[in-house]
A = this chain, B = another copy of it.
Amino acid sequence: MTKKGKYSTIHYQNYLGLDALLDTQVLRSEQLGKPAHEEMLFIITHQVYELWFKQIIHELKSVIEMFAEEKLDERNIGSVIARLDRVEKVMQLLIDQIGVMETMTPLDFLDFREYLFPASGFQSVQFRMIESLLGLPEDKRMTYHNQKYSSVFPEHQQKELADIYANGPLFDWVNKWLERTPFLKTKGFDFIKKYKEAVQRMIEKETLAIRASEYLTAAEKEKREAMLGTTDSYFKSILSEENHNELIKEGKKRLSYKATVAALFINLYRDEPILHLPFQLLTNLVDIDDLMTSWRYRHAQMVMRMLGNKIGTGGSSGHEYLNKTAEKHKIFADFHTISTLLIPRSQLPELPAALKEQLSYHFTQTEKKNNPS
């Protein structure tokens, strides 16, 4: 199409490329044997998946681009959140869509399963791109027939996957962005020091109160103390950068110490105006992880239902694979475990007035209290 300017006209059918789009459903069963009614559903469901994958990739790439600009312009953080919200909504659809696929029964599937060999969902490069864009490292992927996973793909797709990772996945950009948080150590306020004191104070005070309680049995007191924890149990790594870095080396943590402290700060002081959106962003990451996990899990259920213990057309047990990866492939696990470090609002170290002012902004004008009408 040449550039005709915006006053050229277009028809719905052409705008959406419907001639091509609706021509891509080719039933193998029809080509190679007896047409199987249900193969249409199988094809269309997977095509819809791939269209949504393309949408997710479109959003993730744009989000990463925004992070990669000189700095993440504050104007953009709203867009980042809006686009991640959209990614979540799409992922939820992908999960719901499994219920449509499950209207095909295992016996129906057998009517055309043999024609699919050796095609397999493992060969969806777009799904791998999503994993890479989010931050799943190649070495965490399970191997496929004892080969590096990406070997499934033709070379140009392998390169695309590698480039995504080299360019920095979302995880890395968020890590870097968090490290730039300026409020953690200001004149007169050392967040992590204050937090440490608060944790110790809280634990001591509560321990005394528990021991003194006249309502708890000895066994209950013990459980109650366990629930409270000690500085060593839950808080050890956040209170010592050294310890944290050790865990990173062991592959147990991934987020840098500085970024972790910033994430904790945002979680604890999220009621401060300018932390609202950063907090929402961190929540998006946890949501997306949970949705990816749920999708793998529901998908595994569906494969189990369709094939039982049989081997999939791709040559391995899809059910088992998906079940194994559901938990292991969490990308933002470090953000999930921030919850462990939270302490009640009532125990939070007070912020100095100057910092509090820095964390606020004013949308409306101050005014006398009165009835709205």
Contact = CB atoms under 8 A, between A and B. Distances in A.
A278 B363 contact: yes
A309 B337 contact: yes
A354 interface: no
Contacts of A187: none
Interface in A265-320: 267-268, 270-279, 283, 286, 290, 293-294, 297-298, 301, 304-313, 315
Contacts of A298: 294
A245 interface: no
A89 to B, nearest CB: 5
A138 B24 CA distance: 30
Contacts of A4: 32, 215
Residue of A40, A67, A308 contacting most chain B CB atoms (<10 Å): A308
Interface in A77-114: 77-79, 82, 85-86, 89-90, 93, 96-97, 99-100, 103, 105-107, 110-111, 113-114
A149 interface: no
Interface string A1-32: 10111111111111111101111111010011
Interface in A337-373: 337-346, 360-369, 371-373
A125 interface: yes
A201 to B, nearest CB: 15
A277 B276 contact: yes
A91 to B, nearest CB: 10
Contacts of A224: 7, 117-118
A100 B89 contact: yes
Contacts of A62: 37
A101 B10 CA distance: 21
A338 B107 CA distance: 10
Nearest to A114: B6
A182 B365 contact: yes
B15 A28 contact: yes
A216 B273 contact: no
A63 to B, nearest CB: 11
A52 interface: yes
Lowest 3 CB-CB distances: which A-B pairs, in order? A308-B340, A17-B24, A308-B339
Given A48-B48, A93-B100, A309-B337, 17 more contacts: A9-B220, A11-B119, A12-B121, A14-B119, A21-B24, A41-B86, A70-B368, A74-B360, A86-B100, A107-B342, A107-B345, A110-B345, A114-B344, A168-B373, A177-B364, A276-B277, A323-B327
28 contacts: A4-B215, A6-B114, A9-B215, A10-B115, A13-B123, A13-B125, A15-B28, A17-B47, A20-B20, A21-B47, A21-B50, A21-B51, A41-B55, A41-B58, A44-B52, A48-B52, A75-B271, A78-B273, A105-B270, A107-B342, A111-B344, A113-B344, A117-B220, A172-B373, A182-B364, A290-B305, A294-B301, A310-B340
